[in-house]
Chains A and B, each alone.
Chain A
């Protein structure tokens, strides 16, 4: 059974189609902030090129962040409506999980770090387990220096991945016992989203469209200002 995977939580528009662990096609468009213009045409093109008809899909997987708010909402709104029209369930996966998952064969812990702008990053720590990765604790939004501080205090071998690392090279260069996975792993992996979606569908661990909401990890600006003013 084919699943469609969509993640637009970063500067990348990521779409993949596949069966189980097998990816029939994957598109990653990076650059620009034109998620709303690119996403639907990319889905359409990928369906055409892989020969998978939308009405044959078993589920839709979507990256729910944390990430850049507007892109994230484009992906979630699109995925929700595709699921509604096609009457298929959804699987919501954290975007940091999709950065860590491609590194599941690493021999050490993984720090997934996505650029959150305003001198902050989204940060999640993972350890590898047979067949995948396991997040340790909840994802947070912190200054990049805090990620380094956290890693140094734990003192274990770490693989760093995500565009939050490349966005702050001065902070992440020469961190003791930590190595950068490189630009290949900068963005959430649509192929990993296919695999994780397929596994959860097998376990019937899915969500209905109304239940899928983005993970922001940050209050809306006005709310922050308001609370500061009233306190």
Chain B
């Protein structure tokens, strides 16, 4: 029998939800980005992000269910990203997930943000064989992880200060390239002049 999971993510500036069958088959993935909201501030403003999450959360979840051909009666499990991330933003998704779990009488699972990044590679590339080494280069974290098997990890190393993504944003802000910094730097990088 197919097992349907509803996943909710509100750790930063995106309100997102997805329906996944049997942990591998992505039936829907709805991401509402707030980039426009934070442009002009040169980075994500936690309070603005949290305000947007609470306004969007139920619509995003609803869309993910509809697109995924599911509803609250047919999902078996609800998960939410429970950190690391912006504390106030995370709480919106976690609260929503716990409420769904209670009202629909299904289990709730809190999922580590970085573990979700890791697992995304498995969803995208089901052919990946373990053991494997995965590089996480997200907005807030840069780390190298040995994945021995599904759900079995060993952190090989990580940055001690700023993550690569943060460095991009900060450099972009410094150079006046706008926010988000990654795409902006990517756009002008081909014109870079290499130094010997």
- A residues bordering B, Cβ < 8 Å? 36, 39-40, 43-44, 54, 69-70, 73-74, 76-82, 84-86, 209-210, 213-214, 216, 220-223, 226
The residue in chain B whose Cβ has the minimal distance to the Cβ of A85 is B103
Q: Tell me if B40 is interfacial: C-beta within 8 Å of chain A.
A: yes
Give the residues from 87 to 113 in chain B that come closer than 8 angstroms, CB to CB, to chain A. Answer: 87-88, 91-104
Q: Is the CB of B99 within 8 A of A77?
A: yes
Q: Which residues of A contact B51 (CB under 8 A)?
A: 73, 214, 216, 220
Q: Is the CB of B102 within 8 A of A77?
A: no
Provide the bound-state CA to CA distance between A222 and B179, in Å: 15
Provide the bound-state CA to CA distance between A67 and B35, in Å: 27
Q: Which residues of B contact A81 (CB under 8 A)?
A: 57-58, 61, 95-97, 99-100, 103
Q: Which residues of B contact A40 (CB under 8 A)?
A: 95, 98-99, 101-102
Q: Which residues of B contact A69 (CB under 8 A)?
A: 47, 50, 88
Provide the bound-state CA to CA distance between A210 and B61, in Å: 11
Q: Is the CB of A44 within 8 A of B54?
A: no
Determine the main DSSP class of B at the interface with A.
helix
Are A73 and B92 CB-contacts (below 8 A) given A54-B102, A78-B98?
yes
Give the residues from 32 to 46 in chain B that come closer than 8 angstroms, CB to CB, to chain A. Answer: 40-41, 45
Q: Given A54-B102, A81-B97, A210-B58, 12 other A-B contacts at CB below 8 A?
A: A36-B94, A43-B102, A73-B50, A73-B51, A73-B92, A73-B95, A74-B95, A77-B95, A77-B99, A81-B61, A221-B45, A226-B40
Provide the bound-state CA to CA distance between A221 and B44, in Å: 12
The bracket for how many chain B residues form the interface is 20 to 34
Q: Is the CB of A82 within 8 A of B99?
A: yes
Q: Which residues of A contact B94 (CB under 8 A)?
A: 36
Provide the bound-state CA to CA distance between A44 and B102, in Å: 7
Q: Which residues of A contact B41 (CB under 8 A)?
A: 222, 226
Q: Tell me if B72 is interfacial: C-beta within 8 Å of chain A.
A: yes
Q: Tell me if B129 is interfacial: C-beta within 8 Å of chain A.
A: no
Q: Is the CB of A84 within 8 A of B72?
A: yes
